Chain A
Amino acid sequence: MQAKYWQRILAAALASLVISAHADPTMRSGRLDILQDVEEQGYRRAETVRPFRFPADHGPHPGYRLEWWYVTGNLDGPAGRRFGFELTFFRLALAPETSEAVREPQSAWKTRLAFAAHFAITDVANDAFQFAHRYSRGDGRLAGATGNPVRVWLEDWFLERSGEGWRLHAKDGALRLTLELSAVKPPAFHGERGLSRKSAEPGNATYYYSLPRLESSGALEIEGRSYAVQGLAWLDHEWGTSALASDQQGWDWYALHLSDGSDLMFYNLRKLDGSRHAFSAGTWIEPDGETTTIGAGDLAIETLDYWDSPLGGRYPSGWRLTWPARDLELTIQPVVKDQELNTRPRYWEGAVDVAGQRRGVPLHGRGYVELTGYAQ
């Protein structure tokens, strides 16, 4: 997942706060990359491989411009009810921290950090999808992130370490999700030991690791009913300052839990002409946590179907993924066609079913796919 794109989403969303009810037509033109030209000087950059220390590194990394915690997962309720969920927290520095004179007494509201959070639930039985998004100043009270204890929150939505596991909570209107999560595998580091390069230029990179397999259980309230739910979730944590050149249209991100205990993450960076960018990459995670980096040319992904958003834009919807070297072949199908978040710009993030084979052994699984750059 690309920092730049999220910068755009956040910046656009923040901008829309100000003019929400009276959006100018130009607002939807997608030219809302207001932070694109922001001076990147003054921020730290992901340039070298660094050691990760936990639990501290689960917490925030001040000095970098952008950071997110990203939880997605598939949940089963009673009587065959099935749900997908997404809860994401973004931390965005609006300006580098400077050492300006502190006025006494200083207002506790003073901050140059902004936080955003997205919350979505897919209700498979009803072929329904709901989402909510929030923004706040990152003053450490309304929203913030701490490393000790590990916690990131935006008002009453939060993700936190709880003992050896994790807890998350989000609520919007009649929608409420509370989960306990427990990591089955150790953190998986992407790219070069967690340094995920997005282009040839040094510093155009992020630090990126995942907790790929989290056993989750808790309660989901939807449409006035409460369900006990359990399933598997995936946590991404990524931070950096700049990433990528401007030759990108968007990306397709896949995070799949397979029935043999292995997991697969791959991001397909699409160039403006639709072809795959050379810095597209992924990670294969064995049941014991061993990881293998997947290169841009290792995988072939074929689009099987498309879904036209009622709001405009055409998304791929169904894929065949093949990895010849590993004799892996997977068919990926969205469980609900419409899992688009109507943020600005819009993106699609949804629960998927996986079926296929590896070395002749049938496989199935579930996962999440994120599609950006298909709609303005």
Chain B
Amino acid sequence: MSHYFSNRETFKEIILIPVIATFLAISLGLLLLIFSGSSSEIALKALIALFLGSFGSLSAISETFTAATPLILAALGIAIGFRAGLFNIGAEGQIILGGMAAVIIGFSFHLPFVFHIIFVLLAGALFGAFYAFISGWLKAVTGAHEVITTIMLNLIAYRLLDFFLRISWIQKEGRNDPISKSILETAELPRIFYVLDPNLRVHTGFLIAIIAVLVVYWLIFHTTIGYEFRAVGKNLEASRYGGINPALTIIIAMSSAGLLAGLAGASQIAGILGRATPGFSAGIGFDAIAVALLGRAHPIGVLFAGILFGALIAGGREMQVSADVSLDLITVIQALIIIFIAAPILIQKLFPWIFK
């Protein structure tokens, strides 16, 4: 995996391949639509709706950024893992743990406005980090493969969530189904464009995600620990000879990944949901893997890939409303993007004149 992400990625690798992959995937998706019996007029309508629903108005942009926020945060964590040679499938579980911690802090403490939010986000990040730490520690100490342990921990997280939501001091009063109490107003991340229109949902979590992009960029490329991540990811044995402690590095990389995923969970809770339900993680942890791959595990790439995926989600909604095309087409497009990204050689073969 890690050899895709060399330090000297060329412009072509970072920018061109993802752009071409996206373009190809959308075109193929629309072709699929036509082959499955829709008229080309509907396909065109779908394409326009996809664009208008994602960038066509302030509220569309707001929806795009809202959907992108948790994807960017969790994908940054996965990108750190890729850099250190770790394939972290556990973002979903880490999001759940982070979100759960955020909910509990959010409804049970009475604190002033800004402090409460900081406390909520910190709790989310710490719980996410702790959950990923388990996988990192298992890998470092016992050699257990992180793909296996993170998948297993995801399943445990789902059941933990079901269990927690039925505990009486967490469960919402008067309800039998698993749903948590709502967080207090002081724990909510404020909406960015509140003054303009209170219905624009994009919240300050998006700004946090952008700051996280810069911090992770600095961490990976301008700090010793970032260098160690990359060294271990490239060649674990060589890094050991170079005086790096790979076990410790793996634990730190995994924990940072979990910290970011936990933050994603907390920002979902504090930014848009306000409470936890069994499905609140909504598969974001898995979509984030795709975002990290599309972003070539580069923080800036992840930012744009996250916004693109957010746009597909927001645009897909408009596509179903106005062109009556099923949202499943978006899943197909996302999957096609990943296929093209996972096979960069394919794209270079398809468009040799661009890469020569």
A, B from the same assembly: no
